[in-house]
Structure formats: structure tokens, C-alpha cells
């Protein structure tokens, strides 16, 4: 019987598992699931178990968006304020939620290998959150717990961009100093290292790692910025209400912050906020757009609206204009977005990535001339403004790309040397 190792990339948007056959020294299968969890309000298909991945979307739509739909759960790993959430009478902490996704992947992989494989190299971003050691170690502890709960007992962790680098190493012919940038849903991670196809699979790679760093900005940040600028006006961001007789004020911005990020949206079920929204609605004389905010919250439409936002983003990775459209329950959005508009929306996020990268190169004394090539991966590397950023910063470098969604997991599966160190 073969021996296996799983390369496990738990991502903000997508989670991927590569099955590595240690005897054949090859990846034999790759499984990818969207990092989504859906708890139906009622028993679904006769079971109280949550639904994971692609099926979570169809189940949520089938159940008319009732119940709890959780996206980007990786983001709560580093939040000390998140301790647990109660769903259908049960308590779930961050590790419990993450373990649901990891278990799903392991179950699928074990069905292929025919064994209960407990050995895994698990990826982690260089920083889970801002450069904050306490939050980072909280996230690492929670992820380790989730990995153990999912049934892995022989585990090593590897920085995600190093995983991506090892996947790229399998495609090159000569030694290179490479800057790897992995732009995912939650984070943008960098690593600068020396790659050598002759060294692929060798046991000591310590001296090849030159520098790693990262910033808490990714595709979710772009979507949040888009929701803030282009989406919230449709949900009444500019609504005026009568605070005292004759005195008109704008409704608080904080209401709209709640619908722009997933960590807030996932756990946005406060009765108090809901009641205050009702009052603003009343004192705005039932503003039609503000009513959309109530509809969004009451009918759990966040995922669907964000799906439209993502569709626009993906459309603009290929075309110069793309519509932003959403039509449901009285919410009517149909607006043409140009690439220029989009670039403006994400300008601040791009500027943060840019200045982080400058700082990274400076901290580690990396001269642009030293970089032989650039490897860009992760779904958000397809955003035009991201590509322009790298082309402008490194005009003389060849930019390589791989499979944006599975490179990291592949490289983790090639990181078995970590068990021999
Ligand atoms: N064609 C595209 N153009 C622009 N963005 C895209 C495209 N396809 C996917 N994305 C975005 O890429 C992100 C997902 O990328 P990826 O799967 O690499 O992230 P992840 O590994 O789950 O996240 P992280 O590594 O940050 O935890 C999402 O924000 C998604 O909207
Ligand atoms: Mg990733």
C-alpha cells in the first residue's frame, strides 16, 4: 500500500488539497472546494449537518437564503473578539468552523487514497492579520486545533508563498532568484528565495529562503471597497432622516460598514442594530433605498450581492467595461463599470500593497536587479490593477504565472522535506 501526504491550503475563498503519493513521488489528485459553510435553518436532506463548499451555495439558494451562510471564515482566525457563534442551538468557535472545511477535504481525499491519511503539510499566510504577533499566534493556534480536529496528527506548517514557489520550481530549468507574490482572497504574501530545479524535493531548503512577508489585503478587500463605493449608495448610504423636528441628518456610516466585510456580515445578527435600522427607516419617511438595506439583512442577500460584485471584478480582468447588476426583492442595480472606475475603487488597496512591497524590499535589502523573475499566483493576481503594479515596479523582470488556484497546495504537497528536518 502506498504512503501519502496531503498538501492542504486552507484559503479565504478556496481550499485545496493535493494528494502526494510518497512512493511514486508525485501528486496523484487535487481537490478544490470553495471555503463556504451553510447551516440551513431547518434540517436539510434529513440531516442537521452543515453543507460545505459548492453544495453550500445550491443548498442556500434552495432554502431561499434562510439559515446561516458563512464565507471567508479564515478571516476570523485572527480576531480576538470572535470567540464563538451559536447556530441552530449549537456553539461553534473559530476552530470548529474551520475544521468543517478541512474535514470535508480530508474525507474526499481519503475516499480516493483508501486510507485514513493523518500526515499533512498545511499552509499558512506569512501574517494572518496586520503585523501583530498576538493576533498571529492566536490564528496559528486556532488553525492547528482545526487541523487536529479534522483528523491530522502528523503535521507541518509552511508559509503559503513558499508553497507557491515550490510549485513554480518544478517548471523552471535553471537556478533563479524569484520573487513570489500570492494574491488571494484575504492576504497578499511575498517570498523571495532561490529556486533550483535540481534541488526540488531535497531535504534542506533553509538556506534558500531569503525573505517572506505579507499584508492583509486581497480580493475580499477589493470587493469590500467596491461595495463601499459603488454598492452602498443602492442601500441608502446617503439617506437623510429627521433627527429632531426639522433637522435632517445622514444615517450613520457604521451601518454600511457592517455590509462591506465578511467578518461583520457573517455574524451580523444583532437585534439592536436591526431595531435602530427600523427607526432610521421610519424617520427617513420610508426611504426606498434604505429599505434595500433592511431587505438585504432580513433576507440574507449578502452573498448574492457580493457574487455580483465579484462577477464585475472578474469581468473587468478581461474587458474594459462590465455591468454591475443585481435585481431581487425590489433591489435594482444595473450600472456600467469601466476599468477606470474599478481602478479608482481599488486604488487605496493597491497603494497599500505597493508601499508594503517597497518596505519589504528595503527591509531585506533586495535590489530590483537581484530579482531574476517574478511568479504571480492566487486568484487576485488576475486583477488588472495588480498586474499593472508589478509591471510598473519590475519593468525588466519576466512575469510568470501558474495555476492561480492550486499552486500553493501543490507546493505544500512537495514540502515533505519538512518532516525530515
Ligand atoms: N478572474 C479573476 N479576476 C480577478 N479576481 C479573481 C478572478 N478569479 C478569482 N478572483 C478572486 O481571487 C480570490 C480568490 O483567490 P484564491 O483562491 O487564490 O484565494 P485564497 O487562497 O482562498 O485566499 P488566501 O490565500 O488569501 O487565504 C477571490 O477574491 C476571487 O474573487
Ligand atoms: Mg491562497
Q: Whose CA is nearest to atom 17 of ligand 1?
A: 14
Cα 403 to ligand 1 centroid, rounded to whole Å: 12
Q: Do 332 and 415 sit in the same domain of this protein? A: no
The answer to whether position 59 is within a domain reads no
Distance CA 418, CA 7 (A): 12
> Which ligand is nearest to the Cα of residue 379, counting in written order?
1
Report the pocket of ligand 1 as residue ranges, CB < 6 Å.
11-14, 74, 160, 184-187, 218-220, 310, 313-314, 317, 378-380, 382-383, 404-405
> What are the strands of the beta sheet with 51-52, ordered from one edge?
51-52, 36-39, 68-71
Q: Is the pLDDT of residue 318 over 90?
A: yes
User: Above 70 in pLDDT, residue 61?
Assistant: yes
Residue with more model confidence, 209 or 228: 228
- The residue among 304, 320, 345 that closes a domain is 345
Q: Are 165 and 178 in contact (CB under 8 A)?
A: yes
| Residues 14 and 140 grouped into a single domain | yes
Do 233 and 338 belong together in one domain? yes
Instruction: Give the number of residues written for the chain.
Output: 421
Q: How far is the CA of 182 from the centre of ligand 1 (A)?
A: 10
Tell me, yes or no, whether 361 lies in a domain.
no
Q: What's the whole-number average pLDDT of the chain? A: 94
Ligand 1: residue whose CA is nearest its atom 15: 379
Residue 331 has pLDDT above 80, yes or no: yes
Q: Would you call 187 helix, strand, or coil by DSSP?
A: coil
Distance (Å, rounded) from C-alpha 74 to C-alpha 140?
A: 11
Clarify whether residues 118 and 244 are in a common domain: no
> Which is more confident, 129 or 315?
315
pLDDT of 72 over the 70 cut? yes
Q: Last residue of some domain: 330, 345, 360? A: 345
Q: Are residues 157 and 17 in the same domain?
A: yes
Q: Do residues 408 and 285 share a domain?
A: no
Q: What is the pLDDT of residues 138-176, one digit of tens each?
A: 999 999 999 999 999 999 999 999 999 999 999 999 999
Domain membership flag for residue 398: no
The residue out of 328, 345, 362 marking a domain boundary is 345
16 and 111 belong to one structural domain: yes
Check residue 47 and give its pLDDT. 65
Domain boundaries, position 252: 228-345
User: Residue 369 falls within a domain, yes or no?
Assistant: no
84-88, 128-132, 321-325: the lowest-pLDDT one = 128-132
* Beta-carbon contacts of residue 161 (< 8 Å; ≥ 6 apart): 126, 180, 181, 182, 189, 190, 191, 212, 214, 408
Q: What DSSP character marks residue 44?
A: B
Q: How far is the CA of 274 from the centre of ligand 1 (A)?
A: 31
The answer to whether residues 29 and 118 belong to one domain is: yes
Q: Cα–Cα distance between 167 and 172 in angstroms, integer?
A: 10
Q: Smallest Cα–Cα separation from 143: which of 215, 93, 186, 106?
A: 93
DSSP 60-98: HHHTTT-SEEEE-GGGGGG-TT--EEEETTEEEEHHHHH
Give me the CATH number covering residue 84. 3.30.420.40
Based on the domain organization, do 102 and 10 belong to the same domain?
Answer: yes
189-215 per-position pLDDT tens digit: 999 999 999 988 787 788 888 999 999
Q: From ligand 1's centre to the CA of 219, what distance in Å?
A: 6
What ligand is nearest to the CA atom of residue 316? 1
Give me 281's grid cell. 427607516
Among protein residues, the one whose CA lies closest to atom 24 of ligand 1? 184
Q: Which atom of ligand 1 is nearest to the CA of 187?
A: 26
CA distance 121 to 94: 20
Ligand nearest to the CA of 214: 1
Strands 373-377 and 398-401: parallel
List the shell of residues around ion ligand 2, using CB closer than 5 Å: 11, 184
Q: Tell me which residue has its CA closest to atom 19 in ligand 1.
A: 184
Could you identify the atom of ligand 1 that is nearest to the CA of residue 219? 29
Give the pTM. Answer: 0.95
- Determine the pLDDT at residue 45: 59
Sign of CA dihedral 54, 8, 143, 378: negative
Alpha carbon nearest to ligand 1 atom 21, residue: 11
Residues 28 and 131 in one domain: yes
Model confidence at 288: pLDDT above 90: yes
Residue 50, domain member (yes or no): no
Q: Looking at the domain assignment, is residue 45 inside a domain?
A: no
Going by alpha carbons, the residue nearest to atom 25 of ligand 1 is: 184
Give the phi and the psi of residue 401 in degrees, each rounded to 5: -135, 155
Asked whether the predicted pLDDT for residue 1 surpasses 70, the reply is: no
C-alpha distances (whole Å) from 290 to each of 42, 234, 254 are 30, 8, 14
Question: What's the 3 CA to ligand 1 centre distance in angstroms?
Answer: 32
Q: How many domains does the chain have?
A: 2
Q: Return the minimum-mean-pLDDT range out of 18-32, 291-305, 313-327, 341-355.
A: 291-305
Number of Cβ within a 10 Å radius of residue 352: 15
CA–CA separation, 304 and 193 (whole Å): 40
* One domain for residues 148 and 271: no
The answer to the question of residue 383 being in a domain is: no
pLDDT higher than threshold 70 for residue 352: yes
Q: Are residues 414 and 267 in the same domain?
A: no
- Report yes or no on 205 lying in a domain: no
Give CA angle at 97 (92, 103), nearest 5°: 130
Segment (H or E) for 264 = helix 262-266
Q: What are the cell numbers at 360?
A: 519589504
Amino acid at each position: 500500500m502506498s504512503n501519502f501526504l496531503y498538501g492542504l491550503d486552507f484559503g479565504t475563498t478556496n481550499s485545496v488539497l493535493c494528494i502526494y503519493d510518497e512512493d511514486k513521488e508525485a501528486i496523484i489528485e487535487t481537490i478544490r472546494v470553495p471555503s463556504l459553510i451553510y447551516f440551513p435553518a431547518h434540517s436539510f436532506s434529513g440531516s442537521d449537518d452543515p453543507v460545505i463548499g459548492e453544495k453550500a451555495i445550491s443548498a442556500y439558494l434552495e432554502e431561499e437564503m434562510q439559515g446561516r451562510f458563512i464565507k471567508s471564515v479564515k478571516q476570523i482566525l485572527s480576531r480576538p473578539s470572535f470567540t464563538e457563534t451559536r447556530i441552530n442551538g449549537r456553539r461553534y468557535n473559530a476552530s470548529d468552523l474551520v475544521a468543517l472545511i478541512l474535514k470535508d477535504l480530508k474525507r474526499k481525499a481519503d475516499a480516493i487514497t483508501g486510507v485514513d491519511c493523518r500526515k499533512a503539510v498545511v499552509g499558512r499566510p506569512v501574517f494572518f492579520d496586520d503585523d501583530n504577533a498576538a493576533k498571529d499566534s492566536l490564528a496559528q493556534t486556532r488553525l492547528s486545533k482545526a487541523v487536529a480536529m479534522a483528523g491530522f496528527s502528523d503535521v507541518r506548517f509552511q508559509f503559503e508563498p513558499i508553497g507557491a514557489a515550490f510549485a513554480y520550481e518544478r517548471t523552471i530549468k535553471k537556478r533563479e532568484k524569484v520573487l513570489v507574490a500570492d494574491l488571494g482572497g484575504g492576504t497578499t504574501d511575498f517570498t523571495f528565495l532561490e529556486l533550483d530545479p535540481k534541488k526540488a524535493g531535497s531535504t534542506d531548503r533553509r538556506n534558500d529562503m531569503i525573505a517572506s512577508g505579507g499584508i492583509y489585503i486581497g480580493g475580499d478587500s477589493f470587493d469590500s471597497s467596491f461595495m463601499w463605493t459603488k454598492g452602498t449608495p443602492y442601500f441608502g448610504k446617503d439617506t437623510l432622516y429627521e433627527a429632531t423636528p426639522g433637522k435632517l441628518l445622514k444615517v450613520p456610516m457604521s451601518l454600511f460598514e457592517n455590509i462591506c466585510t465578511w467578518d461583520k456580515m457573517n455574524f451580523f445578527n444583532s437585534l439592536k442594530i436591526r431595531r435602530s435600522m427600523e427607526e432610521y427607516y421610519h424617520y427617513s419617511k420610508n426611504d426606498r433605498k434604505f429599505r434595500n438595506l433592511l431587505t438585504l439583512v432580513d433576507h440574507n442577500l449578502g452573498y448574492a450581492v457580493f457574487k455580483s460584485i465579484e462577477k464585475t471584478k472578474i469581468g473587468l480582468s478581461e474587458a474594459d467595461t462590465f455591468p454591475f447588476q443585481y435585481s431581487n426583492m425590489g433591489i435594482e442595480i444595473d450600472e456600467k463599470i469601466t476599468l477606470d472606475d474599478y481602478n479608482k475603487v481599488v486604488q487605496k488597496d493597491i497603494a497599500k500593497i505597493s508601499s508594503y512591497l517597497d518596505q519589504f524590499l528595503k527591509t531585506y535589502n533586495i535590489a530590483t536587479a537581484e530579482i531574476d523573475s517574478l511568479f504571480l499566483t492566487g486568484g487576485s493576481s488576475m486583477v488588472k490593477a495588480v498586474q499593472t503594479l508589478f509591471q510598473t515596479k519590475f519593468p525588466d523582470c519576466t512575469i510568470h504565472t501558474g495555476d492561480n488556484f492550486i499552486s500553493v497546495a501543490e507546493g505544500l504537497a512537495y514540502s515533505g522535506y519538512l518532516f525530515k528536518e
